[in-house]
Amino acid sequence: MLPSLAAALVALGLAACGDDDDPSPAGDSGCERVEEPSPKEVSLGRPTQEVRPGQRLTATVETSCGEFEIALATTQAPKTTNSFAHLVRQGFYAGLSFNYVKPEFIQGGDPSGDRTGDPGYFVDEPPPQNLAYTKGTVAMAKTPVEPPGRSGSQFFVVTAADAGLHPDYALLGRIARGLDVTERIAALASPSGQPEQVVLIERINLRPG
């Protein structure tokens, strides 16, 4: 998913030893060596609106490369952040990966593993017209044929200074802490977009504030 983002960004320029019961140690990348997750089919119902506009929510994303925090944009994107929070509470993201990695962005949250997966529903919420996809912006991925602001479960973090995109991708929030971790993941980029090393989303947790 998100070939239009990849095209836009390209036009502008992502076994260690040890006991079987222990996680593999980090390599030169600073990321733990993990296995590629198996594809999953998911079919969830559309959530009711539980997130209040302006409610302060932070998502902590724990990965095999470290953890980072997203301050969710509940004021500008109450529907999008509500859907994301719903998926987090369902444990949807645990065990998925960042399976599309470029130097300019990292993208994850696809249960299928081939950038076509979704949670079984979508949300439409046009992003702010003045939205700029600058470093640290977190937004939802979509295909070029889908309308602006449509989202499922896949999200991306901009790691370039400015991706230079039109405001077509639903806003999710901004990195509040751990931008260096997202850059560490982006450093695993390859020309194909398949990361040079598997990067696992171990879990995402929500907290107020």
145 is a domain residue: yes
Question: Residue 172: what pLDDT?
Answer: 98
59 is a domain residue: yes
Q: Which residues pair with 60 in a beta bridge?
A: 69, 205
Question: Residue 2: what pLDDT?
Answer: 54
Q: Supply the range of the domain harboring residue 147.
A: 3-14+55-208
Are 64 and 70 in contact by the 8 Å Cβ rule? The answer is no
| pLDDT > 50? residue 191 | yes
Nearest alpha-carbon partner for 100 in 191, 35, 23, 171? 191
Nearest alpha-carbon partner for 2 in 139, 186, 103? 139
81 is a domain residue: yes
Provide the mean pLDDT of the chain: 90
47 is a domain residue: no
Q: What angle do CA 135, 136, 138 make, to 5 degrees?
A: 120
Specify the number of domains making up the chain. 1
For the segment 132-146, what is each residue's pLDDT rounded down to a tens digit? Answer: 999 999 999 999 999
pTM of the complete model: 0.87
- Domain at 80, CATH number: 2.40.100.10
Average pLDDT estimate for 85-91: 97
Sign of CA dihedral 181, 182, 183, 188: positive
181 is a domain residue: yes
Are 176 and 136 in contact by the 8 Å Cβ rule? The answer is no
Residue 4 host element (H or E)? helix 3-11
| pLDDT > 60? residue 16 | no
